[in-house]
Structure formats: C-alpha cells, structure tokens
Amino acid sequence: MKKLAKMISIATLGACAFSAHALDGKLVPNEGVLVSVGQDVDSVNDYSSAMSTTPAGVTNYVGIVNLDGLASNADAGAGRNNVVELANLYPTSALIVGVSMNGQIQNVAQGQYNANIDTLIQTLGELDRPVYLRWAYEVDGPWNGHNTEDLKQSFRNVYQRIRELGYGDNISMIWQVASYCPTAPGQLSSWWPGDDVVDWVGLSYFAPQDCNWDRVNEAAQWARSHNKPLFINESSPQRYQLADRTYSSDPAKGTNRQSKTEQQIWSEWFAPYFQFMEDNKDILKGFTYINADWDSQWRWAAPYNEGYWGDSRVQVLPYIKQQWQDTLENPKFINHSSDLFAKLGYVADGGDNGGDNGGDNGGDNGGDNGGDNGGTEPPENCQDDFNFNYVSDQEIEVYHVDKGWSAGWNYVCLNDYCLPGNKSNGAFRKTFNAVLGQDYKLTFKVEDRYGQGQQILDRNITFTTQVCN
C-alpha cells in the first residue's frame, strides 16, 4: 500500500475478516482486533461516558525514574496518569501501559532503576489482567533521547525480569516505533532487541499521509517479517480540530486552518485509518485511539511548543460518532465482553489472587487460624497498627490500620518488595511468601493529601504464628 487507492466503507469493512494467523507473541487474540482507548485517565472516562461503553482496553503512562503515574497522579501537561486508579475504574479491561525512560536510558540499562522496574512489574502483574507493556515507547523517536545499545539492553533486562518474577503470562512486551515521517527509512534493525524478547511490534499513527504512509507500512512489514502481531499503540487525527471542524497542514503551529465537513474528516483520516487495519489484517491485532481534546492540555496547547495536535474526541461530532460506533460493531473488533480476557489468551487468577486477599485469608484468619490459636490471648505486640498475621508457614499477611488518609494510592512492602494493598476490615493488607522464623523489614507507604503528602512507615519483625487483625 504505497498509496491508499480506496477509502473503506462500513459495508466493505463489515465483509472483511481479520484472519486467524499463528503469530509469535504473548496475549495475542486468535481472531479479531483489540479496541483500546487513551491516553489519560480523564479522557478515557469522558469517552466511556459519552459513548456509553466500557473500553476493552485502556491506556496510561508511567515514568521509570520516580514511577510517577503508577499509583499516584502525574500530569506533565498531557493529561492525568494513574495506572492503578485506571485499573480500578476498569477492572475487566485490558491495560496498555507506556513506560518513559525520562531521558535516563543509559542508567536504566546499567541497573540504576532495577528496584523501580521490579515494583512496576509486580504492581502490573498483581492487577490480574492482560497487560501490554510499551517499554521505552517510540523507541526511535528523537525526542526520547534513546541510544540503540542501551535501549536493546534495557528491553532484554525487563523481558527477563518479568519472567523471573513470575509474570510472563500476565505481561506482554511491545516494541513500539514512532513511525515518524521525518525519520529515514531502514533504521528499524538497529533498534531491534531480538525476536526472543519482543511479543508485539507497535507503531504510532498520527499523520502518515505526510510521507505517503511509508513509515507505518515499514513498521507493519517489519512485524510481518518477524511473525509478530502488530499493535497501533498511539493514533489520533493530528491537526484536525473535530469540535471546530477544521484541519491545518501546519504541524508546527496549526496555522491557516481549513473548514471541513464531518464527512470530509471521516474520509480523509478515519477511513484510511481503518483501511490500514484491513490491509494488514494478517498481523494487526490491536489499536489504541487517543480520544482527547489535545488543545485543552497545556503541553499541547498554544503556542504549540510541541507541535499542533488539535481535538480528536469522536463524540463531539454526531456523524463521526455514529460512523465510529458503526465501524466498531463489526464482530472482528474485540470490544468489552464477559469473555474478553479469554479472547486475549489470558486466564485470570480471579479466585486465587482475589481469594487469597479477600476470601481465603479472610476465611483462614477468621476461621482456621482462629481455631488453630484455640482462643489464646493475642500477643502484646498485636496492639500495633502496623503489623502482620500468620497465614501459613510460607505466607505472611502485612497490614496497616487505616488512619483516615486520602489513600489515593498505597503500597505494602516486605523487604522492599512493594505491592498495592487491598483495603478490608479497616486496614490495608497484602500477603507475601515468607519463611516462618525469619526476620523481615515491613514498609507501608500511603498518599496523605490531608497531612504531609505521603506517609512512609517501617518496622522490623520476626515472622511468628501471631494472628492480630
């Protein structure tokens, strides 16, 4: 497809089949294309409300240096990120997470942020759903300041660490290129970390017409040649202002805006977008549409220091909204459903994870352990608000009583292995593997907007058979 010769229609798309193909990757649907929406919490919420739908996939971002946006609010001018909040808002949706290197790719590759990488992997893995990890997204984007060798090394490190921590079935790794028109062709091989550590090839799709679709086609062909599934990880009709029905050919400042009808906007950007999917139906298995009023976010707003983006909200124009909904009704698109995770090749832990923290432990502590302890008086140190419960000789539950914190996020940690806590019976709790009789360091971290911003508490314990709370 050097030049798009035809514009796809709803009727044509309805007859098309995204054929099953044995691709080499993780969490790849056998049939169909995963539909996901991004890219900030509030834009996703607005889309879900306006379209009266739960997205099958939701997208957000994290910075590796401080893990900003993972379990706390982070807004660098492009909308609010909070992955854990988004996951809680959409508990039955797949999660697509972009991880920024924050200009520190060399230090990341050399291991300086390994603890953060572990926390990231553990947090995402414990969310009990398919997670698509866009590590160092837009790997070749010049604005990211990556270099090829450190990028490839960091990719291999993270891929291996996901498996060492036991989350190989939960987290799929995406190698996403920028598909940026000014980029010279033939550069992808220098950024490729290897078939053995890449689950998906990703690309960005904004204004591919600027280079006759050459860069997105190159990325698609790269995926095909490596037998990898393709994910459109970022897409938006750049330079279109849907609410105003305008388009600018000026990518820098958005000058000389031209009036457009809704039908023109659809035929100029959306129809080629879905045609690209059809042309690559042998490998195309997922897409993320960024449904946002870019102009209202200060990073992208006038005077457009980072280029002119516009307004891509499909719900603001009746014709666009209807066309969008009609197109996605094609059964070959994977929308939200009760069997979504199964379609994506993921078997939810469900009863195990949810049960361990909310069911089994509740039963064990309230019943079995209560019986095992035979009504003995609890130890004196059970009076502490920050403590632990014996679950078994190999499991410990760490908890902290809720003190009325805002608690937009919290982490419960054992020897600096930190996971988001689950609140039950007036306390934040998490169960870890442990060895009876061993010494451990407990840490609890919680957002405290009403006090000091956050609270971080530590204590050292010896794991005994005590059951306190």
As annotated, the active-site residues are: 138, 234
334: Cα separation from own chain's centroid: 17
- Whether the CA torsion 120, 125, 126, 131 is positive or negative: it is positive
C-alpha to C-alpha distance for 32 and 343, rounded to whole angstroms: 9
All residues at 6 or more sequence positions from 156 whose CB lies less than 8 Å from its CB, including other chains: 193, 194, 197
What Rg value do the Cα atoms of the chain yield, rounded?
A: 24
Neighbour tally for 323: CB within 10 Å: 21
Burial of 455 (0-12, 13-18, 19+ CB in 10 A): middle
Consecutive H or E run containing 90 = none
CA-based end-to-end distance of the chain: 64
Locate tokens 């102009």: which residue?
A: 295
Consecutive H or E run containing 311 = strand 310-311
Answer yes or no: are the C-beta atoms of 463 and 414 closer than 8 Å.
no
Neighbour tally for 20: CB within 10 Å: 11
